[in-house]
Homo-oligomer: A and B are copies of this chain.
Amino acid sequence: MIPENETIDFIEKGHKEFLHHLSIDCVLFGYHEHQLKVLLLKWKESDKWSLAGGFIKLEENLSEAATRILKERTGLDEIFLQQFQTFGEPKRSHRSKADIDHLETITKGSVPADHWLLKRTVSIGYYAVTEYSKVNPHPDPLSDKCEWWEIDSVPKLIFDHNFILAEALKALRMQIYHQPIGYNLLPEKFTLPEIHDLYETILGKELDRRNFAKKLISLGLIKKLNERRSIGAHRSPFLYKFDKRKYDKALKDGIILAF
């Protein structure tokens, strides 16, 4: 929980520290065994939920700002953040009387209509995927809860955040055909069903098992180990691991995958 005076400071003095008209929204996806979740925050004194977001300091890079915002929420600082789209419909940030009331409730004072948090805001969207069991979520100055929600049970979010989430998922699903994924999401040694499940869960569709494995192996992204995992009578699938050098090269240069 952020102390009250810090929240009030942010509302009253943030205009000197951050660029106006601009914000960042981070869609943090969390993967864990067959499930895809997303990190959401609940606004203080309200039952509204939102994505993790924040502002850009006067002399800060966009990607630094996104990394800082996500670190504040999750404690993680080695997350591969991907910028995917900038959202700027004028209406997306038209603030209502309720938004002004909300700020006034928090600050216990009056908030002018030209307050920096009420200006037209263009928001730059980033997404990342993490293993959600590794994350310990923290609320931000305007929220009192920060929790994982299953992708399919996300409630109505503030502003255009449901749209931003849907676009992030589309971008992630396209990106997965051009950049490898899984290095921080799977154990160091994994079975083919485990990596197959990761891709199916993210893509939200079935993938032919045989073609899938053949493709990843032929690109050199994963290699078979001379080791098996025993998971029951007569079942001991081979283990695989990522070829980190080829994985990093593929991250940098891009790949073309079609299962």
Contacts and interface: CB of A to CB of B under 8 A. Distances in A.
Contact of A21 (B22, B83, B90, B257): B22
Given A21-B20, A83-B85, A178-B174, A90 B254 contact: no
Contacts of A177: 177-178, 256
Contacts of A56: 88, 122
A19 interface: yes
A120 interface: yes
Interface residues of A, number: 27
Nearest to A85: B83
Given A56-B88, A177-B177, A62 B122 contact: yes
Contacts of A174: 174, 178, 254
Contacts of A85: 83
Contacts of A254: 170, 174
A243 interface: no
Q: What is the copy number of this chain in the assembly? A: 2
A176 to B, nearest CB: 11
A133 interface: no
Contact of A258 (B60, B88, B124, B257): B257
A90 B60 contact: yes
Interface in A55-94: 56, 58-62, 83, 85-86, 88-90
A122 B62 CA distance: 9
A62 B83 contact: no
B86 A61 contact: no
A86 to B, nearest CB: 5
A19 B119 CA distance: 11
A122 B22 contact: yes
